[in-house]
A and B are shown apart, each in its own frame.
Chain A
Amino acid sequence: MDVSLLTSLWVALPLLSSPVIYLIGRLTVRRTPHKANPAGWLAVAALAIDAILLALTVDANNKGIATAFKFGDVVMRADGISFVLGGSAVLLGLLVTIFSLQYMAGEEGEEKYYALLTAMIGTIVGLGCTRDLFNLWVWFEAMAITSYMLVAFYREQPASLEAGIKYLVQSAVGSTLVLLGIALVFASTGSLDLDHIMLVTQSGSTLLLAAGALFLIGFGVKAALVPMHTWLPDAHSMAPSGISAMLSGVVIEAGLVALLRVMGAISGSSLAWGWLLLGFGLLNMTLGNLLALRQTQVKRLLAFSSISHVGYMLVGLGLAVTYGLHDGAAGAFFHLITHALMKGLAFLAVGALMYGLYLANHKHDALMVDDLNGASKRYPLAVFGLSIAVLGLGGLPPLAGFMSKWQIFVAGAEAQSTAALVIVIYMALNSVLSLGYYAPLVNRMYRKEPSPVILTGKRIGWQISLPLVLLTAAVILLGVYPTALSWLTDTAATSLLALFGAI
């Protein structure tokens, strides 16, 4: 098949299947209200086909060397970054959908959930491939809209509504700032094509600097840069667990990728961008870890840890931009992938426990850290998955998280500058600090006596177990064979340096 058509299909399939899923699900529920909703299985099928399309597309595109393709009338481009982001979204999305088959079963408006989830995956894939400033905003806004509705999916729960409205307002302020930035760039260059903008902005101008600041903050809200991160713990802890996994695993990273794309285009205007990324990275790491330290809700703890992990990616990217280091970018993208796997696994495992302890008993309580006591006795699989995930997030070898952090450390050492070395040491100290809240979780689950709520927990089915098993295996295998993905992270790093005009 034609490469262009194949790549377009990969982007379009989730978007096209979304309304079909909704309609079929809705009609079935109307006709036969007591039968199981087919929407979930349709979404699984659509995403599985999309995953196959992904594999074919990667193969047809010479494993991620940038190729332009026409999506309708719009020219887009699939490069290494597109495949890192789009691939994570589709694969994690598929697992989340399978997970949700049981987790969301019987919820009101199940078909909406699946339709929105597939649409969100489609918009993330599209976001990764765009090369036009305004199209980037459209994809970004479409992703945001689907995620608002998914965060506030439990519309009977006050807490989930509150999280939803906060997320919406903050995110909307961010995207308005991005629009203002677009207007500034458009006014000063007369172009919206990112490549063209990069060519004509080799000199600094105040307008472009202001636009850059607006982009950094606007996309930064979505990417949860401190101090724009305040929506994240609320949204991640109150969304359905599958959505928490998607938000943390790919949506905040999509904000990061959008930021990188526009920042690359205007990178000629100043030398400070790389340092700004480094600064935000350090801030994110510190605050995320410190705030996670004393949390009592498990999902909130994981949400704060996401903030700190965005910090690691930012440091890797900042090193790449500041010092032109290929390894920094490759490490950051590798960390993006491993973080998607580990955080996806963590949220799904916590979701499994929540399902067993609360949802199956028709309760919507938040899972507290104390509820985990002795959970290994009753939920060995979910607890093992959660342990692997948090230890990997803490950077324990030989798990995937260690390898990706290590690659970023190596990049810092390669920079051969005192500042970079100090940053690397600070990162390592932060990893140690993060073990201060990950390790007690594991200890609690395996060594304490089971809490009463554990003993009354319900069983979890294969739909929940299967994604956990696959993700656990992936986290361990990527730790043992970290080079398995270097073909992808290397091409993504090359794409990034090309975006910033370093090649």
Chain B
Amino acid sequence: MSLASIIILVILGLVGIGLYALLITRNLIKVVIGLQMMVKGAILALVLAGRLSGQVNLGQSLALTVVVADTIVAVIALALAVQIRRHCGTLDLNDLATLRR
């Protein structure tokens, strides 16, 4: 098994687990963690793509940019979670389903 195919498996695993977490967990913090796992898979995919197309530097700089953007998203998500805990008193997604229909 080549390095590339191992990394592809890792990417699929990360994205798959992240998506699965988003589909089944009810805890908001775990949802954010699932989101992070998906993005980490995508970052790995960018690095791998850079390597496969022979542009390692470009691939890595893309990955770094994504890390920055992704961190901001994570920070906002966690800040929202804190506010939700404060004002709604819960982090359970079942209780966060008041906007519907």
> Do A's and B's CB atoms come within 8 Å in the complex?
yes
Q: Is there a chain A Cβ closer than 8 Å to B39's Cβ? A: yes
Q: Is there a chain B Cβ closer than 8 Å to A173's Cβ? A: yes
Q: Are B77 and A165 in contact (CB under 8 A)?
A: yes
In Å, the complex CA distance between A189 and B98 comes to 46
Q: Are A184 and B80 in contact (CB under 8 A)?
A: no
Q: Is there a chain B Cβ closer than 8 Å to A145's Cβ? A: yes
Q: Is there a chain A Cβ closer than 8 Å to B45's Cβ? A: yes
Q: Are B53 and A179 in contact (CB under 8 A)?
A: no
The closest CB in chain A to the CB of B42 belongs to A179
- Interface of chain A, helix or strand or loop or mixed? helix
Which chain A positions have C-beta within 8 A of B50? 186
In Å, the complex CA distance between A189 and B52 comes to 10
Q: Are B76 and A157 in contact (CB under 8 A)?
A: no
Q: Are B80 and A152 in contact (CB under 8 A)?
A: yes
Q: For window 187-208 of chain A, which residues contact chain B by CB distance below 8 Å?
A: 187-190, 192
In Å, the complex CA distance between A141 and B72 comes to 10
Q: Are A182 and B76 in contact (CB under 8 A)?
A: no
Which chain B positions have C-beta within 8 A of A163? 99
Which chain A positions have C-beta within 8 A of B45? 179-180, 183-184
> For chains A and B in complex, what number of residue pairs have CB atoms within 8 angstroms?
113
The closest CB in chain B to the CB of A295 belongs to B101
Which chain A positions have C-beta within 8 A of B53? 186-190
The listed residue (A161, A182, A187) touching B48 by CB distance below 8 A is A187
Which chain A positions have C-beta within 8 A of B19? 173
Which chain A positions have C-beta within 8 A of B49? 182-184, 186-187
Contact with B along A41-70 (1 / 0, CB 8 A): 000000000000000000000000000000
Query: Assuming the A-B contacts A165-B81, A183-B46, A187-B48, are A159 and B66 also in contact, with contact meaning beta carbons closer than 8 angstroms in the complex?
Result: no
Q: Are B59 and A186 in contact (CB under 8 A)?
A: yes
| Total chain B interface residues with beta-carbon distance under 8 A | 42
The closest CB in chain A to the CB of B39 belongs to A176
Which chain B positions have C-beta within 8 A of A152? 80, 83
Q: Are A134 and B73 in contact (CB under 8 A)?
A: no
Q: Is there a chain B Cβ closer than 8 Å to A293's Cβ? A: no
The closest CB in chain A to the CB of B73 belongs to A172
Separation in Å of the B4 CB from the closest CB of chain A? 10
In Å, the complex CA distance between A159 and B59 comes to 40
Q: Are A180 and B62 in contact (CB under 8 A)?
A: no
Q: Is there a chain B Cβ closer than 8 Å to A27's Cβ? A: no
Q: Is there a chain B Cβ closer than 8 Å to A371's Cβ? A: no
Q: Is there a chain B Cβ closer than 8 Å to A370's Cβ? A: no
In Å, the complex CA distance between A64 and B73 comes to 34
Q: Is there a chain B Cβ closer than 8 Å to A466's Cβ? A: no
In Å, the complex CA distance between A326 and B55 comes to 38
Q: Is there a chain B Cβ closer than 8 Å to A271's Cβ? A: no
Which chain B positions have C-beta within 8 A of A169? 22, 31-32, 35, 77
Q: Is there a chain B Cβ closer than 8 Å to A126's Cβ? A: no
In Å, the complex CA distance between A183 and B48 comes to 8
Q: Are B96 and A165 in contact (CB under 8 A)?
A: yes
Query: Assuming the A-B contacts A134-B62, A145-B69, A186-B50, are A162 and B88 also in contact, with contact meaning beta carbons closer than 8 angstroms in the complex?
Result: yes
Q: Is there a chain B Cβ closer than 8 Å to A106's Cβ? A: no
Which chain A positions have C-beta within 8 A of B98? 158-159, 162
Which chain B positions have C-beta within 8 A of A180? 15, 41-42, 45
Separation in Å of the B79 CB from the closest CB of chain A? 9
Q: Is there a chain B Cβ closer than 8 Å to A448's Cβ? A: no
Separation in Å of the A86 CB from the closest CB of chain B? 22
Separation in Å of the B34 CB from the closest CB of chain A? 9
In Å, the complex CA distance between A212 and B89 comes to 41
Q: Are A179 and B83 in contact (CB under 8 A)?
A: no
Which chain A positions have C-beta within 8 A of B87? 155-158, 161
Q: Are B80 and A164 in contact (CB under 8 A)?
A: yes
Which chain B positions have C-beta within 8 A of A165? 28, 77, 80-81, 84, 96
Q: Are B52 and A155 in contact (CB under 8 A)?
A: no
Q: Are B96 and A162 in contact (CB under 8 A)?
A: yes
Q: Are A148 and B42 in contact (CB under 8 A)?
A: no
Q: Are A183 and B99 in contact (CB under 8 A)?
A: no
Q: Is there a chain A Cβ closer than 8 Å to B57's Cβ? A: no
In Å, the complex CA distance between A138 and B39 comes to 14
The closest CB in chain B to the CB of A183 belongs to B45
In Å, the complex CA distance between A192 and B55 comes to 11
Which chain A positions have C-beta within 8 A of B81? 165
Q: Is there a chain B Cβ closer than 8 Å to A110's Cβ? A: no
Q: Are A168 and B77 in contact (CB under 8 A)?
A: yes
Separation in Å of the B47 CB from the closest CB of chain A? 9
In Å, the complex CA distance between A157 and B59 comes to 42
Q: Are B99 and A173 in contact (CB under 8 A)?
A: no
Q: Is there a chain B Cβ closer than 8 Å to A82's Cβ? A: no
Q: Are B80 and A176 in contact (CB under 8 A)?
A: no
Q: Top 9 A-B pairs ranked by shortest CB distance? A: A190-B53, A183-B45, A187-B49, A179-B42, A186-B49, A183-B49, A234-B99, A158-B88, A176-B38
| Chain B contact residues, CB within 8 Å of chain A | 15, 18-19, 22, 28, 31-32, 35, 38-39, 41-43, 45-46, 48-50, 52-55, 58-59, 62, 65-66, 69, 72-73, 76-77, 80-81, 83-84, 87-88, 96-99
- Can you pick out 5 interface pairs between chain A and chain B where the beta carbons lie within 8 Å of each other? A138-B65, A142-B69, A169-B31, A172-B77, A179-B39
| Chain A contact residues, CB within 8 Å of chain B | 134, 138, 141-142, 144-145, 148-149, 152, 155-159, 161-166, 168-169, 172-173, 176, 179-180, 182-184, 186-190, 192, 233-234, 237-238
